[in-house]
Amino acid sequence: MCSELKKMTKDIRLSTKQGYVLEDLNSAVEWIFSPVARYISIRILLSIVAVNDFDIDNMDVDTAFPNADLDEDIFMEVPDGLEKINGMVIKLNKALYGLKQSPRQWNLLIHQYLLSINFKQTVEDACIYVYTASKGELVYVCLYVDDILVAAKHRDVIDTVKQKIKDRFKCKDMGPCIHFLGFKLTRFRDTKTILINNIHMIDKLLVKFDGNSNEVSHIPIEPNKQFVKPTNENIRTA
């Protein structure tokens, strides 16, 4: 089902046409901005987790955008695989990938849901939410599009919040946060520290650009590169 949905959303990018939209999308869509958690806010949250010895889990919402409804009337050509009748178009009811307003519609949906389960949006960052559980325990939720962090002192509190989110949205429960937004988190509870690095991303880039070969260069230029004294003539030539 997910592969079919991704195929259809790919078709959206190719087949949504201005002629099938009630108005030009560039003028009809008034709001397209969607907030994400700032990196400094994520670092502060990780600092709170480390110092207070909180647990922190990671969740990923499957195909997040189609959960949200659209505010505009948008039509598209019938995608491949469905029966096509001359003159027939399809009206979109959900915020599929490829539409510029989809991120905002998704953010509004999950924002309203978090408020409905008693979370409060922080003033400093629109994607950091706080909830006061029983006995005054604080629970933090961090949003970065469809990636979610849930942090609290006790494991049962985290599990309760995650279950509430999974009751509303189909999610992958990644368990304790080890990777987030391309970074690897290494935790040292004895010293109350969390080390953040992106070594695995560097390794991927090395593999991508054939960096895992045994040839190592100690200088960033060709070894036999010949240099000449700059003159007006060769400067103009360059």
pLDDT (tens digit per residue) in 155-166: 999 999 999 999
97, burial (CB in 10 Å: exposed 0-12, middle 13-18, buried 19+): middle
Digit-coded pLDDT (tens) for 180-215: 888 888 999 999 999 988 887 777 777 777 655 556
Digit-coded pLDDT (tens) for 84-109: 777 788 888 888 887 888 888 899 99
pLDDT at 12 over 50: no
Strand order in the sheet with 179-180: 179-180, 183-188, 193-197
pLDDT at 22 over 70: no
CA-based nearest residue to 68, from 25, 90, 97:
97
Q: What CA dihedral angle connects 150, 154, 155 and 156, to 10 degrees?
A: -100
Give, as one character, the DSSP assignment of residue 22. S
Averaged pLDDT of the chain? 81
Report the pLDDT value the prediction gives residue 1, as an integer from 0 to 100: 46
Report the pLDDT value the prediction gives residue 150, as an integer from 0 to 100: 96
Share of the chain above pLDDT 70, in %: 81
Q: Is the dihedral of CA 178, 163, 9, 111 positive or negative?
A: negative
Contacts of 103 (CB under 8 A, 6+ apart): 32, 34, 65, 145
Q: Between residues 150 and 84, which one has the greater pLDDT?
A: 150
Digit-coded pLDDT (tens) for 64-78: 888 888 887 888 788
- Please compute the mean of the pLDDT values over residues 41-57 and round it to a whole number: 94
Give the three-class secondary structure for 176: strand
